[in-house]
Every structure is written in C-alpha cells, then in structure tokens.
Amino acid sequence: MIAFPVQEKGQEPKVSDRFGRARYFYLTNGENGQFLKNPYLNEPGGVGIRVSQWLINQGVEMVVVKNIGLNALRVLREGQVKVFKAKADDVKENLKLFAQGFFREPLSILDNINKALFNCSQKGSKKCVCFNCGYIFNGQPGVPCRQMVCPKCGGQVRRLP
C-alpha cells in the first residue's frame, strides 16, 4: 500500500507540500485507491509523528512526499515504511514513474538532517541532532553537542547551526 499526502480529493490529486498537515491521504495499491481524512489535522503539535503511526496502522508500506519532518521520517522508518521524495506534482504521474522504476532510493535520516542543517536558523537556542536516528533536541548550556550522546539511541550528536 502506498500513501500520498494530498490537500483535495478528486480525479487528479496533487501531492501536498505538507505531510502532517495534509487534509487527506490517498492510499493505493497501484490500481485502486481511497482518500482517508487526516484524523490529526487540527491537533496542536506532534502531528507528523501521529500521522506516521496512523499510516503504519493502516498497513502502508511506502509514502511519497514533497516534504517531511525528521521525527515523522524516523517513526516511518522504524515502522519499516519506505519514504520517497515525490518526482512530480500529481499522484498519477508519481505512480507511473514508480512503475517505470524511477523510485530507487528511499529518503534517509541523513537527507533530512542535511536539510535541517541547511535551513535551521534558530538564534539563541542550541539544538542538537543525532546522526544515527535524526532526533533533534535542546542542548545543555555549556556542553558542546559533539560531547553529548543522543538521549534516544546513544548515537553521535552534532549542533544544528
């Protein structure tokens, strides 16, 4: 089962720019599909993680996204769900490209860590990121991130700029 986050139902659904805040998820086996309303759309926080767990419970084996957060990606990967970057805007075109073998390498935690390192601009707060599991957490004052270990998995940690 493949899942796509989408904003609108219809004959030509488009892949949403947002994962956890997508209005619907289009689930398909490649031939038949259904739209499921995102049950966590209006929750105040932790939406990506909740949606990831919900998709795992729906039996999803693959997710195609434009963007996804580190924690949502981590939960999906722990649930043995492969996550791929969308190659086109619409769902049907992505399915066609998938059938043609254009989806080879799933996203990795490092892909999203590199994105976070590039885009992060939180002044005044020290954020640390684990290179093993992708967990982001607040650093301890006076302790460099590189001297810390990940509180989730014990992996190597670096500071987000």
Is the domain of 70 the same as that of 11?
yes
Is the domain of 77 the same as that of 63?
yes
Residue 111 has pLDDT above 90, yes or no: no
For the chain, the domain total comes to 2
Is the domain of 66 the same as that of 6?
yes
Is the domain of 85 the same as that of 156?
no
List the single range of 38-47, 99-108, 121-130 with lowest mean pLDDT.
121-130
Q: Is 93 exposed, middle or buried (0-12, 13-18, 19+ CB in 10 A)?
A: middle
- Res 15: pLDDT: 94
Is the domain of 52 the same as that of 64?
yes
- Res 51: pLDDT: 95
Rounded percentage of the chain residues whose pLDDT exceeds 70: 88
Task: Specify the higher pLDDT residue, 37 or 135.
Answer: 37
Residue 46 zone, left/alpha/beta (φ > 0; ψ -120 to 50; rest): left
> Which domain range does residue 60 map to?
2-107
Rounded to an integer, the average pLDDT of 84-112 is 80
Q: Which residue has the tokens 């390498």?
A: 105
pTM of the model: 0.68
Is the domain of 97 the same as that of 152?
no
- Looking at the chain, list the stretches that DSSP marks H as alpha helix, in order from N- to C-terminal side: 47-57, 70-78, 91-99, 109-119
What tokens were used for 128?
A: 């640390």
Q: Give the E-state strand segments of the chain in sequence order.
A: 2-6, 24-28, 33-37, 62-65, 82-85, 127-130, 136-138, 157-160
Is the domain of 126 the same as that of 87?
no
Is the domain of 11 the same as that of 73?
yes
Q: Is 49 exposed, middle or buried (0-12, 13-18, 19+ CB in 10 A)?
A: middle
Residue 113 has pLDDT above 60, yes or no: no
In Å, how far from its chain's centre is CA 140?
27
Is the domain of 42 the same as that of 19?
yes
